[in-house]
């Protein structure tokens, strides 16, 4: 399989480069910038991309890849900081410039190869404080903006390119087209990354493992697809366990039991551990601590079950690439955004080996697999739900009152979206609650109650998200129902922060 390898220099957009490339059926993998020449050779890349990053090439601690990597005689594309690395390496000059953040008009000076069929100009997303003052010998300028004369450069004989802007973000017009030109036209990569192929490879690999597998299922698309893949590979050596942690959506336990019973021929067990989880969370306010506690309690439950219902050698989980990235244990120099219960929450004493078949996939890729495996549409279109459950939608301590508010308010939000025909058109929707309170008037009496925050977002892969512009009339219905049907709520707000800078979940 042809492969594009992306060297990660710390850009918040690094993983989006891989995501965009996979959209046109070519496999892309992210590796740390300091990967050795020998290790990179073993990956046998068809092309290499240097990501952007916050550093300056002239800083003493600037991240620099091994020199041999520049001379591998395979196509190379540098983006933003990666572009400046190429300029600096081949004898050009990079200078400090006025920081530029936002959209600029890129004029195309040469429409060969990288910028082929892009047009005469396009909007390009800039995020940089340095720029190329002098390009190296052998390179030519193929695109410029009003402020950056060398916004795109090329050494065509060696298939080396540099661009100062970010083609991977949606704010860059024709950005996907530029990446596609590099991958398909410059690198000549074959489009052989398909989910049908992934299923075959995953099943073949899983079939070779020894021992029984315990799979934690939540009723969500990720863990369900994991269970079906493993069952396809090893059959009755798989046992699925659903744990009610007391932090589920309204009536969710019954819905999940019915769904597995009616649709899947797997060994399924349900465990009610609500009291155990809520007891451990009592008095805990810090969101990271809550995530870690939930993660550890899941492992306690699974380990106890394994002792009595086993023996088991493996614990399977529905971990995805974004989970790994945000938990700070990805292959690049990413910062920890928030620990995911099935990644950062795994304790050292776990005596089961971890099986994560979807660890390198994005959410939309998992949904494609679900379609192929004929997962029922009701589950297929179900909104993502965080592993730590409502504990991360309750800001501060998890209390019975806030838990009840969160369950009922979220159900109202989902019901009104379904009634309006919008549920399947948005990525995720829920209601959150914290400790803030506000005065309201019910009848002629003053009431001091909780504030509920409605959150509805649009996304493709959960890496980035934008708040959904719902009709005002729909928001009014949600607000009226929440304040009328939940006695402890007086105010309802709508959250309009996108990711980044916010995250999809409040904690």
Catalytic residues: 80, 166, 168
How far from chain centre, in Å, is Cα 485? Answer: 34
In angstroms, rounded to a whole number, what is the distance separating the alpha carbons of residues 95 and 223? Answer: 49
Name the pairing type of β-strands 445-459 and 428-442: antiparallel
Q: Residues near 366 by Cβ (< 8 Å), separated by ≥ 6?
A: 221, 222, 225, 320, 358
Q: Where are the alpha helices (DSSP H) in 310-335?
A: 321-326
Closest CA to 65 of 42, 92, 31: 31
Q: Residues near 374 by Cβ (< 8 Å), separated by ≥ 6?
A: none
In angstroms, rounded to a whole number, what is the distance separating the alpha carbons of residues 344 and 326? Answer: 9
Name the pairing type of β-strands 121-134 and 465-467: unpaired
In angstroms, rounded to a whole number, what is the distance separating the alpha carbons of residues 112 and 194? Answer: 29
Name the pairing type of β-strands 238-244 and 213-216: parallel
Cα angle, residue 502 at apex, residues 499 and 506 outer, rounded to 5° = 120
Residue 232 has which token pair? Answer: 């396809």
Distant-in-sequence contacts of 197-204, Cβ < 8 A, 24+ apart: 197/1, 198/361, 198/365, 198/369, 199/229, 199/232, 199/369, 199/372, 199/373, 202/229, 202/233, 202/357, 203/229, 203/232, 203/233, 204/233
Phi, then psi, of 173 in degrees rounded to 5: -65, 140
**What does each C-alpha distance from 342 to 296, 324, 357, 505 come to in angstroms?**
9, 9, 13, 16
Q: Residues near 53 by Cβ (< 8 Å), separated by ≥ 6?
A: 8, 9, 10, 11, 33, 63, 80, 81, 82
In angstroms, rounded to a whole number, what is the distance separating the alpha carbons of residues 502 and 506? Answer: 8
């Amino acid at each position: 399989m042809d492969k594009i390898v992306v060297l990660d220099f710390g850009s918040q957009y690094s993983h989006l480069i891989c995501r965009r490339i996979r959209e046109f059926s070519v496999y892309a993998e992210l590796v740390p910038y300091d990967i050795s020449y020998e290790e990179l050779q073993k990956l046998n890349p068809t092309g290499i991309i240097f990501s952007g990053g916050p550093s300056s090439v002239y800083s003493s601690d600037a991240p620099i890849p091994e020199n041999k990597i520049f001379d591998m005689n395979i196509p190379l594309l540098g983006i933003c900081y990666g572009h400046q690395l190429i300029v600096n390496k081949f004898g050009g000059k990079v200078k400090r410039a006025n920081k530029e953040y936002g959209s600029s008009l890129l004029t195309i000076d040469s429409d060969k190869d990288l910028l082929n069929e892009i047009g005469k100009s396009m909007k390009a997303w800039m995020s940089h404080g340095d720029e190329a003052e002098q390009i190296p010998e052998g390179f030519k300028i193929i695109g410029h903006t009003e402020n950056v004369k060398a916004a795109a450069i090329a050494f065509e004989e060696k298939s080396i390119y540099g661009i100062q802007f970010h083609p991977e973000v949606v704010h860059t017009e024709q950005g996907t087209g530029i990446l596609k030109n590099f991958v398909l036209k410059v690198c000549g990569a074959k489009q052989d990354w398909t989910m049908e192929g992934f299923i075959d490879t995953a099943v073949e690999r899983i079939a070779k493992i020894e021992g029984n597998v315990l799979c934690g299922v939540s009723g969500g698309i990720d863990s369900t697809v994991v269970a079906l893949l493993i069952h396809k590979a090893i059959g009755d050596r798989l046992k699925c366990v659903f744990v009610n942690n007391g932090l589920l959506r309204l009536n969710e336990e019954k819905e999940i039991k019915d769904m597995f019973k009616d649709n899947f021929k797997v060994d399924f067990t349900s465990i009610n551990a609500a009291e155990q989880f809520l007891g451990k969370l009592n008095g805990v306010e810090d969101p990271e601590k809550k995530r870690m506690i939930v993660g550890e309690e899941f492992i306690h439950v699974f380990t106890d079950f394994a002792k009595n219902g086993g023996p088991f050698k493996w614990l399977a989980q529905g971990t995805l690439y974004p989970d790994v990235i945000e938990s700070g244990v990805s292959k690049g120099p990413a910062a920890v955004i928030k620990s995911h219960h099935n990644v950062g929450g795994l304790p050292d004493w776990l005596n089961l080996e971890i099986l994560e078949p979807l660890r390198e996939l994005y959410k939309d890729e998992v949904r494609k697999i679900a379609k192929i495996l004929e997962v029922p549409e009701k589950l297929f279109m179900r909104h993502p739900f965080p592993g730590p459950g409502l504990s991360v939608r309750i800001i501060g301590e998890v209390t019975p009152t806030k838990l009840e508010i969160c369950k009922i308010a979220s159900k109202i939000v989902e019901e009104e979206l379904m009634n309006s025909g919008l549920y399947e058109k948005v990525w995720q929707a829920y209601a959150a609650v914290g400790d803030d309170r506000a005065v309201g008037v019910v009848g002629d009496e003053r009431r001091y109650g909780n504030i509920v925050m409605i959150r509805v977002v649009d996304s493709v892969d959960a890496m980035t998200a934008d708040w959904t512009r719902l009709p005002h009339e729909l928001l009014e219905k949600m607000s009226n129902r929440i304040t009328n049907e939940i006695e402890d709520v007086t105010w309802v707000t709508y959250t309009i922060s996108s990711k980044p800078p916010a995250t999809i979940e409040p904690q």
